[in-house]
């Protein structure tokens, strides 16, 4: 084991660790169809993700007609039930990710997840991918009373991983704001789910491939 400038590296889940867009799109479109709406393309869904399932459903409804809390309430369990049953039909790690995680772990870094996805769904997804042993902690969107970009979930993930100097890796403005609010260095991936150009996210570093992650983190030191 060799030294590394960070004791903990925390990752967002959707669009950062995993390309979950195909399965999220399928669940959203199933819900929209049941509610009598048109479907939305996957490319559009990639720009809707980041605030949890309920927000994704709200955006899908807004993109296909009017939206109300009652309609979201009706569609939410439809979405959750379908998504839980198909949580990793097509979701896959981004290229180079697992090698980067292996490198960080070999250098003594504790790895954690901080996501706005429901904790139970996040655990189901990670277990289905086969990552039960990879992460020291997982904090979901409903683990605490607040969610990202509030820094509390990120602080919780760091604490549950043993504490120490930490960095955060994400893909969206929600993630970079979380890092800024926590005053923790943030790396943004350019291949994830963002609603704006990546150079407008305000991340400390941008990477185009996970082959660049370890070097980017070392540069943040």
What residues are annotated to the active site?
A: 12
Edge-to-edge order in the sheet of strand 137-139: 137-139, 110-114, 8-11, 166-170, 186-189, 205-207
Cα separation of 42 and 35, whole Å? Answer: 19
At residue 186, φ and ψ (nearest 5 deg) are -130, 135
CB contact set of 204 (below 8 Å; sequence gap of 6+): 179, 185, 186, 187, 220
Cα separation of 132 and 124, whole Å? Answer: 10
Show the tokens assigned to 86.
């198909």
CB contact set of 93 (below 8 Å; sequence gap of 6+): 17, 18, 19, 129
**Closest among 27, 38, 41 to 65, alpha carbons compared:** 38
């Amino acid at each position: 084991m060799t030294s590394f400038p960070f004791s903990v590296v925390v990752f967002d889940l959707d669009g950062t660790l995993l390309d979950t867009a195909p399965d999220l799109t399928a669940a959203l479109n199933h819900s929209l169809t049941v509610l009598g709406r048109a479907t939305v393309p996957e490319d559009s869904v990639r720009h809707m993700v980041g605030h949890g399932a309920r927000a994704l459903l709200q955006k899908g409804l807004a993109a296909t007609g009017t939206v109300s809390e009652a309609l979201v309430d009706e569609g939410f369990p439809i979405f959750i039930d379908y998504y839980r049953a198909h949580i990793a039909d097509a979701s896959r790690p981004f290229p180079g990710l697992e090698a980067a995680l292996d490198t960080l772990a070999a250098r003594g870094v504790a790895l954690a997840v901080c996501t706005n996805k429901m904790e139970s769904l996040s655990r189901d997804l990670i277990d289905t991918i086969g990552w039960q042993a990879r992460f020291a902690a997982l904090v979901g969107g409903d683990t605490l009373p607040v969610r990202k970009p509030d820094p509390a979930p990120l602080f919780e993930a760091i604490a549950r991983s043993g504490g120490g100097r930490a960095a955060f890796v994400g893909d969206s403005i929600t993630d970079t704001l979380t890092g800024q609010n926590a005053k923790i260095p943030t790396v943004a991936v350019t291949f994830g789910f963002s609603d704006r150009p990546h150079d407008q996210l305000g991340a400390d570093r941008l990477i185009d491939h996970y082959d660049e992650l370890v070097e980017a983190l070392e540069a943040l030191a």
